[in-house]
């Protein structure tokens, strides 16, 4: 009888160890399932973001082709996390020589990489602008199908002397 009781106790101990091992495996499996679900959700989010960015790129590309409006790149980020101001140069045919208008986006401040605000773009853009990229963009007019043409060129200002071809 003692031998039989001992074998039952050993069997019970073995089954308890198997139960602990199987519970650990189930916990590991559930953790892997959770990680897998999070990874799938992240991939789906990135797919949606990529589709959104692709659609934005298509719209901007179509706008540039249709209107000849060239966006000025700005890699700064506002403190609220949105991209910095988007400004578009438009050649003005009716307002006078060498003038451009700027259409600002919602975000009007820029910040450097440490998050400090560097200023507000409130000054009208002109050829004397101190920002090197903006000054260069204002000095030259970019056409999507042609080479850059300086603003001071007589045909851009509307001055036709009869010598241009």
State the 10-residue block means of pLDDT for the chain, 165 residues long: 92 96 96 97 97 94 83 56 51 45 45 48 47 58 50 51 51
- Dist. CA 34–CA 20, nearest whole Å: 21
| Residues 157, 151 contacting (CB under 8 angstroms) | yes
**How many CA atoms within 13 Å lie on the side-chain side of 133?**
8
The model carries a pTM of 0.36
Cα radius of gyration rounded to whole Å, the chain = 33
> What pairs with residue 72 in β-bridges?
87
Instruction: Answer whether residue 143 is part of any domain.
Output: no
Q: Is residue 85 in some structural domain?
A: no
How far is 89 from 137, CA to CA, in rounded Å?
A: 8
Backbone angles phi, psi at 98, to 5 degrees: 65, 25
- Number of structural domains in the chain: 1
- Structural domain that includes position 1: 1-69
Residue 1, domain member (yes or no): yes
Q: Is the residue at 95 inside a domain?
A: no
Rounded-to-integer distance, Cα 74 and Cα 86, Å: 7
Q: Reduced to 3 states, what is the DSSP secondary structure of residue 67? A: helix
Contact predicate 49/31, CB 8 Å: no
């Amino acid at each position: 009888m003692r031998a039989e009781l001992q074998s039952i106790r050993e069997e019970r101990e073995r089954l308890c160890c198997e139960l602990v091992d199987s519970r650990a495996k189930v916990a590991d499996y559930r953790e892997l399932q959770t990680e897998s679900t999070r990874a799938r959700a992240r991939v789906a989010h990135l797919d949606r973001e990529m589709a959104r960015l692709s659609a934005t790129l298509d719209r901007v590309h179509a706008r540039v082709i249709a209107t000849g409006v060239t966006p000025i790149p700005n890699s700064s980020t506002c403190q609220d996390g949105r991209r910095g101001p988007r400004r578009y140069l438009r050649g003005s045919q009716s307002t006078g020589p060498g003038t451009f208008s700027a259409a600002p986006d919602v975000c009007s401040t820029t910040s450097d990489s440490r998050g400090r605000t560097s200023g507000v773009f409130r000054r009208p853009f002109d050829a004397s602008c101190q920002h090197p990229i903006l000054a260069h963009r204002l000095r030259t007019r970019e056409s999507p199908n042609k080479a850059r043409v300086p603003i001071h060129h007589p045909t851009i200002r509307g001055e036709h002397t009869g010598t241009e071809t």
